[in-house]
């Protein structure tokens, strides 16, 4: 029995689900293709405006009940969601591989990331703490408390079709919110499977519809969702172009956004780096997930003292990377998501060469079914225009530096600001990288690559990455509304700032 049969995804499925299950009936049918070999693995009938309306209404109705439930009880529901994900980890992980082409351990890792989020959220549900302040007025108590926000729209990209939803949705659930998920049209089956597993848990608690799913065209349902006045928060992961639009629309109605957009992440390999460590980290960061993570390493700056031998070793490693079927044991590089991604890869390589780049490894698509390209290493000046772009493919641009200040400046010179790393055994170099004049990114690592962050920290970045923070730390605050409370337990009414306003 295939994973699609086990997860009951073999028939045509609906791209809209709220209370009472799935209901898109009139939209066009999307054919879902596996990037592994280009074969059809499913069909999804897309949601239309009327379907979205039902999903929003169901979510709004479920929110009315849910918001009064104590947060630790909401945490118990999230714990049960974590259990369901655990029980189906193998199937969901394999589905992720089949649908978006991740190697098996990364497909499983993705589901593990969602499970980790559930575990974290169970504890967090008892820790949604507000501060207490000392009032300047006698007999007054001043505190802050956090209430649920309402309906949270979660827009996700194809590359983390389960985990990024969990970063948002599970935190939103403990916060007491309803969630409407609009996944990428490139990964609808993982969304349907994940949604249905969670819906079973919610239905058992009489909370059907609290997690809505809407799979449809951006122009039809995406646009309506971000414009909807009943949605106070839109959390969106994807390109800077998409984020700019979401920000303008949602900002225009003075609602909130949480944006996790493009990255253009660099690793610095300093003169005193542990080169074995750096080599493995650069390979995983640049080539893992076929270069399709927002945290992928796209730029490498190596100190001149170690550049020759390090780049040679890297070229050697690139030449032996096993590329192919991601579900096959031993494969480290799977396919890109689709033919469009391969075309973008080829265009970027051509531009890099035109801008003076020397291809040290890869540079070509592979002649086989599916959407495979060879991991590519290009020696190119740090300030060549193409280096400023995020191409969602395994292309790593390499340049050589003489002093750390310049390398840090190169790291910071791009428009994006997500993740960054330095490899060094020097406390001075590491601290310079982490200092206020160091990396300008949301993530700054020492002797760890740019990708593969744990969920306990807040994930997100600065500049065109969008400024949002998701997953751990105090990211939950974005999904709640803060209320400052001052209680006067005296029989007088002193005014703050010494203002006098005596009436009568």
Write out the residues near ligand UN1 by the rule CB under 6 A.
113, 159-160, 164, 237, 293-295, 451-453
Minimum gap (Å) between residue 109 Cβ and ligand UN1: 8
Q: Which is nearer to ligand UN1, 107 or 357 (CB)?
A: 107
Rounded CA separation 264/286 (Å):
11
Instruction: Pick left, alpha or beta for residue 302 (phi over 0 → left; psi -120 to 50 → alpha; otherwise beta).
Output: beta
Tokens of 23: 């209901």
Q: Which is nearer to ligand UN1, 18 or 35 (CB)?
A: 35
416-417 and 395-401: which strand pairing? unpaired
Question: Of 342, 9, 55, which Cα lies nearest the Cα of 188?
Answer: 9
Tally Cβ neighbours within 10 Å of residue 145. 14
Q: Which is nearer to ligand UN1, 121 or 453 (CB)?
A: 453
Tally Cβ neighbours within 10 Å of residue 88. 17
Q: Which is nearer to ligand UN1, 4 or 471 (CB)?
A: 471
260 is catalytic: yes
Judge whether 378 and 397 are in contact, CB under 8 Å.
yes
How far are the Cα atoms of 93, 307, 362, 400 from residue 304, in angstroms, in the given order? 41, 5, 23, 6
Minimum gap (Å) between residue 295 Cβ and ligand UN1: 4
294 is catalytic: yes
- Given the residues 94, 260, 390, 464, the one annotated as active site: 260
- Given the residues 121, 162, 240, 294, the one annotated as active site: 294
DSSP-assigned letters across all residues of 109-138: HHHHHHHHHHHHHHHHTT--PPPEE--SST
Q: Which is nearer to ligand UN1, 19 or 293 (CB)?
A: 293
Q: Which is nearer to ligand UN1, 34 or 295 (CB)?
A: 295
Orientation angle between helical segments 104-124 and 89-100, nearest 10 degrees: 130
Minimum gap (Å) between residue 125 Cβ and ligand UN1: 22
Residue ranges with strand state E in 312-362:
358-361
User: How far does CA 419 lie from the centroid of its chain?
Assistant: 13
Largest interatomic CA distance in the chain: 89
Minimum gap (Å) between residue 419 Cβ and ligand UN1: 7
Minimum gap (Å) between residue 340 Cβ and ligand UN1: 18
Minimum gap (Å) between residue 294 Cβ and ligand UN1: 4
Q: Is 210 exposed, middle or buried (0-12, 13-18, 19+ CB in 10 A)?
A: buried
Residues annotated as part of the active site: 260, 294
């Amino acid at each position: 029995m295939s994973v699609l049969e086990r997860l009951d995804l073999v028939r045509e499925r609906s791209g809209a689900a709220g209370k009472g299950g799935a209901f898109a009936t009139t939209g066009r049918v999307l054919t879902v293709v596996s990037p592994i070999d280009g074969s059809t693995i499913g069909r999804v009938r897309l949601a239309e405006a009327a379907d979205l309306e039902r999903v929003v209404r169901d979510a709004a109705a479920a929110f009315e009940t849910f918001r009064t439930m104590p947060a630790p009880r909401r945490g118990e529901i999230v714990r049960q969601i974590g259990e369901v994900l655990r029980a189906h980890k193998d199937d969901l992980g394999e589905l992720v591989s089949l649908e978006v082409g991740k190697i098996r351990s990364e497909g499983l890792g993705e589901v593990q990331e969602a499970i980790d989020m559930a575990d974290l959220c169970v504890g967090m549900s008892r820790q949604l703490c507000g501060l207490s302040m000392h009032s300047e007025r006698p007999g007054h108590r001043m505190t802050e408390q956090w209430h649920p926000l309402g309906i949270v729209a979660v827009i996700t990209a194809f590359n983390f079709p389960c985990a990024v939803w969990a970063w948002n949705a599970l935190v939103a659930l403990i916060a007491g919110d309803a969630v409407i998920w609009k996944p990428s049209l490139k990964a609808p089956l993982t969304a349907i499977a994940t949604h249905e597993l969670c819906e079973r848990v919610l239905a058992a608690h009489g909370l059907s519809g609290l997690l809505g799913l809407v799979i449809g065209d951006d122009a039809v349902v995406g646009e309506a969702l971000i414009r909807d006045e009943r949605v106070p928060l839109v959390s969106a992961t994807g390109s800077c172009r998409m984020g700019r639009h979401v920000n303008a629309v949602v900002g225009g109605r003075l609602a909130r956004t949480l944006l996790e957009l493009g990255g253009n992440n660099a690793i610095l390999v300093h003169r005193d780096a542990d080169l074995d460590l750096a080599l493995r980290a650069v390979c995983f960061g640049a080539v893992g997930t076929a270069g399709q993570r927002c945290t992928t390493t796209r730029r490498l700056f190596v100190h001149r003292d170690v550049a020759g031998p390090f780049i040679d070793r890297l070229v050697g490693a690139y030449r032996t990377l096993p590329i192919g079927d991601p579900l096959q044991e031993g494969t480290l590089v799977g396919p890109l998501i689709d033919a469009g991604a391969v075309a973008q890869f080829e265009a970027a390589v051509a531009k890099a060469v035109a801008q003076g780049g020397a291809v040290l490894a890869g540079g070509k698509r592979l002649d086989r079914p599916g959407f495979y390209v060879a991991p590519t290493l290009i020696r190119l000046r740090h300030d060549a225009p193409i280096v400023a772009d995020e191409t969602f493919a395994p292309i790593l641009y390499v340049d050589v530096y003489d002093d750390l200040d310049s390398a840090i400046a190169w790291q910071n010179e791009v428009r994006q600001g997500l993740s960054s790393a330095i490899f060094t055994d020097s406390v001075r170099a590491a601290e310079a990288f982490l200092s206020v004049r160091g990396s300008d990114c949301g993530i700054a690592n020492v002797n760890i690559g740019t990708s593969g962050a744990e969920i306990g920290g807040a994930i997100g970045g600065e500049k065109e990455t969008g400024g949002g923070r998701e997953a751990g730390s105090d990211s939950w605050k974005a999904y709640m509304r803060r209320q400052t409370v001052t209680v006067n337990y005296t029989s007088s009414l002193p005014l703050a700032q010494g203002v006098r306003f005596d009436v009568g």
